[in-house]
Structure 1
Amino acid sequence: MKTILKLTTGFAALVMLAGCVEFKDADDETPQAPEPMVEVQSMGNLVVDKNLYIWNGKIVTEEEMLSVESGKNKDFEFQFDELRLEENGVLYTMGNNVRIHANRFVSAKGRIATFPKNMKAQLGEEGRSGGHILLDLGVAVGGLTIEMRGESGGDGIPAKYPDFALKGPKGKDGRSERFCQRRRPEALLPFDYSGAEGLKGLPGYPGGDGKKGGATGTLEISIEDSSRFVHNVEKVPGVGGMGKPGGVGGDGGDGGNPTVDSRGQNCGGIRGLMGPRGDKGPDGKNGANGEVQTSCITKNKIMNCSN
C-alpha cells in the first residue's frame, strides 16, 4: 500500500464508494457526502493496548480527554505505518468522521468503536450519530471487532412544578344580604350564607418527551491483503430517551367567602372548602431509537454493502 501523501488521494476511495454508502441527516433522505477532511496526520506506529479516544484531532487516554477542550471540527484523518490493537485495546472515534490509513494493521482481538457502551445524551438532547469510519488498510492481520454504536437519546425534561397559573377558580361567595335575616331562620338556612367550594385545579404540566437515539453511523473498509484477517461488525443504534411523567395538578381554588352584610356581620355561614387538586399532566413520550446505517467492505477488489 502506498503512503497517503495528498488529501485528494484519500478522496479517491470515497468517490468509488459514493454509490454505496449513504450519509443521511436526521430529516433528510437524500444521500449526503461528508464535509472535506482536514490534512492527513502522519502518526508512524501506534499500539492500542487500552482505551484510547479520538478527541479534537488527537488520540488520547480518558484522563487526557478531560483536559482537551472539544472543538467544532469533527473530521479527522490519520496515516499509520503500522497500527496494532491488542486484546484489551479499544479505539473510540466518539462520533467523529474518521479516516484511518495504515500500511500494516494488526489486531489481536482488538476493537474499534464509535462510542463506549451506555453513552447517553443530556436531558432534552438527541443522541449523537456514530459518524463515519473509513479503514483503508494495506496488509491486515488478526481479528477485529468494529462496534458501530449510536449514542442513546437524552431523557425528557421533567415537568414544571404547578404554579399559580394552574390554580383552580375561587368558589362562589355566599348570597348577598343587606341585613342578616336572623329573625327568620326558617327563611334561609345557614348554607345559603356559606361560600361555595373552590373549583378543581387545572391539569399538571406535561412531562418532556424523550429524545431520539443516534444512528449507528456509516462504515467503509478497504483492504488490499486480507488473507490472514477476519472482522466482525456490530451495529447498535442508540436507544431513545425516556419520557418524563406528567406534573402534579394545580391546587384547587379557594373557597368562597361567607355572607357578610352591610354592617359587617357574618350571617352564619362559613368559608367554602378549597377545591380538589387538578389531575396529573400528560406523560412525555419515549424517544425513537436511532437508525441502522450502511457498511461497505472491500476485499480483493470486491465490494459488499449492507445495512
Structure 2
Amino acid sequence: MKHKIWLVSVFIILSSCMKVKKKGDEAAPAEVKPVEVVELQQPAIEQQADKPIVKVFSYEYVVQNGRSFQEVQFHFPSHWPNEIILKKTELSENKNSMQTIIRLDDSRTWKESLVGEVKISYQFLNAQKEVLEDVEVLPVLNLQLSEDFNLAQKFKLNAKTKHIYIQSLRMEEKTHLYLEDYSGSVKIENLQSSTGTIQTFPLNQRAGFEQEGRAGGLLQIEIFTASGELNVTMVGENGGHGKAAREPDDTLRGAKGDDGSMPLVVFEVSPNQLFYKNVCAQEGSEGKDGSRGAQGFPGGIGKNGGNSGRATIKLWDANLKVSSPNLAGLKGLGQVGGRGGAGGAAGLGTGGDPCRLMKNGQPGGEGVKGVEGDDGRDGVAQKNSLFLNGQKVDLSEN
C-alpha cells in the first residue's frame, strides 16, 4: 500500500512539472533564429555528369551583326586530353605557321579571332604528336558577283573544310558560284539574287583523259534573309574521254622473212690446167615472206560521268524563289583502235653468176586495227530537298 502511494506522488510531481513548462512556453515564446543557407557541395560524380559531354569534334563561326569582329569556335570531344598542341598555318603564299598549347576547361571549347581573307589550317595534336584532327577554315565571306566565281578553286576546297559561311552574297543576273565536289554546310546570312546560280560544276566541264567524272558534293545550304530568284543546280562532272590509241611501234612490227640459203659454187680447172671456171654446184633459194604485223594498240576507254550530288536547302525567307534542276555528268567516249603494226620485211633470195638469182620474198601485211575502247556510263541525277521555315515544300526543277 505504501508503494502505491509513492508511485502516485511521483506521477503528480511529474505532471506538475510538465504543466509548468507549457505555461512558461505560452508566456514567453522562444526566439526564432534565421536559417543559414548552406550551398551543398555535389558529389564529384554528379559534377562530372553536369559537364557537357562532347562526342565529336566540330567548329562554328561566331559573327556579330554590325561588327567586323569574327571568331571561330571549336568544340573538342570529352575523351581528348586537356592539353592539346595546336599547329596553325596560313594557307597563303607565305604560309606563316605557329605552334602553341591549348589548355581546355570544362566547356571543352576554344575560340580565336579570324583575321584576313586566307584559309587557315588548324592541326590539333596530342602529346605524342599524333594528329587528332586537321581542318581548314575559310574566312567569313562577303561576295558581290558580276561574273562567274569558282569558290572551290579560289580556296582549293577539300574534305578538310566542313563549313562555308557567307555573311552577304549579291548575285547579278545569270552569275554562277561554283563549289565543284565540296561537301559540307553553306550558310548565307543575306542573299540578293537576280537569277543567280549556286552550282557544282560548269555544264561543259569534263574530267581529264581516262579520268572518272567527279560527283557533285552533298550540300546543306541554309539561307536566312533573301530576295529574288536562285537556282541551286547540282551537276556531275562529265567523264573523261579515252586517250587516242598509240601509233604502232617496232614492238608491233612483223618478223622479217628469212633470206634464201646460199648457193654452192665450186672452182673447176680444165685437164690441161690452162682454164678454170666457177660452176654452180647447188642453187640458192628464194627469200621467205615477212610475217604480218601485230594488232594495233587498243583505243582508250571512256570514263563514267559523275553523279549530280544532292542539296538540302533550308530557307527562312519566303521572298526568295528557289528552283533546282539537277544534271548527271555525261559519259566519256571510247576511242577507235590504233593501226596495226607494219609487216615484216621480205627475206632476200640468193644466187647470182654462176647460179641463178632467186626471188625475194614478199613483205608482211599490216596488222589489224586495235580494239575500240568502250564508252563510260552517264552519272545519276539525284534529288534535292527544300524546307521553308522548317516545313518541307515542293521544289521546282525547271
TM-score, L = length of structure 1: 0.72
Query: Which entry has the higher C-alpha Rg, 1 or 2?
Result: 2
Q: CA deviation at 1:247?
A: 0.9
Q: Distance in 2 between matches of 1:74 and 1:119?
A: 24
Q: How far did 1:54 drift?
A: 0.7
**Higher relative contact order (Cα pairs below 8 Å, separated by 6+ residues):** 1
Query: Which residue type is aligned with residue 229 of structure 1?
Result: L
User: Percent of aligned positions with the same letter in both sequences?
Assistant: 29
1:296: how far off?
2.2
Match of 1:93 in 2: 179
Residues 237-248 of structure 1 mapped to structure 2, 5 A cutoff: 237-248=328-339
- Does the 8 A contact of 1:7 with 1:39 survive in 2? no
Structure 1 counterpart of 2:325: 234
Matching of residue 133 in structure 1 with residue 219 in structure 2: yes
Taking structure 1 as reference, are residues 71 and 91 closer, same or farther at Cα in structure 2, changes over 3 Å only?
A: closer
Partner of 2:140 in structure 1? 42
CA contact (8 A) 1:95 1:129 kept: yes
Equivalent residue for 1:295, pick from 359, 362, 384: 384
Q: 1:74 to 1:272 in 2, by over 3 A?
A: farther
Question: CA offsets per residue over residues 116-156 of structure 1, 9 Å max, x none?
Answer: 22111111222222223321112332211122111112211
Shift of 1:196: 2.9
Is residue 38–residue 77 contact of structure 1 (8 Å, CA) maintained in 2? no
* TM-score, structure 2 as length reference: 0.57
Q: Is 1:75 matched up with 2:161? A: yes
Measure how far apart 1:55 and its partner are: 3.2
Q: Is the 8 A contact 1:127 1:214 kept in 2?
A: yes
4+ runs of 1 displaced by more than 6 Å? 304-307
1:107 positional shift? 1.7
Contact 1:41 1:77 in 2 (8 A): no
Alignment of structure 1 residues 133-282 onto 2, 5 Å? 133-174=219-260, 178=264, 193-225=285-317, 227-260=318-351, 267-282=356-371
Q: How far apart, CA to CA, are the structure 1 residues paired with 2:366 and 2:348? A: 20
CA distance in 1, matches of 2:392, 2:136: 26
Return 280-289 or 161-170, whichever deviates more. 161-170
State the Cα RMSD in Å: 3.4
Amino acid at match of 1:97: S
1:283 paired to 2:283:
no
Distance 1:76 1:266 in 2: 88
Question: Which residue does 1:29 correspond to in 2?
Answer: none
1:243 is matched by which residue type in structure 2? G
Secondary structure class of the residue paired with 1:123? coil
By how many angstroms is 1:37 displaced?
Answer: 6.7
Gapped regions of structure 1 (runs ≥ 5): 9-34, 59-69
Structure 2's unaligned 5+ residue stretches are 1-59, 63-72, 76-132, 267-278
Count of residues in correspondence between the two structures: 259
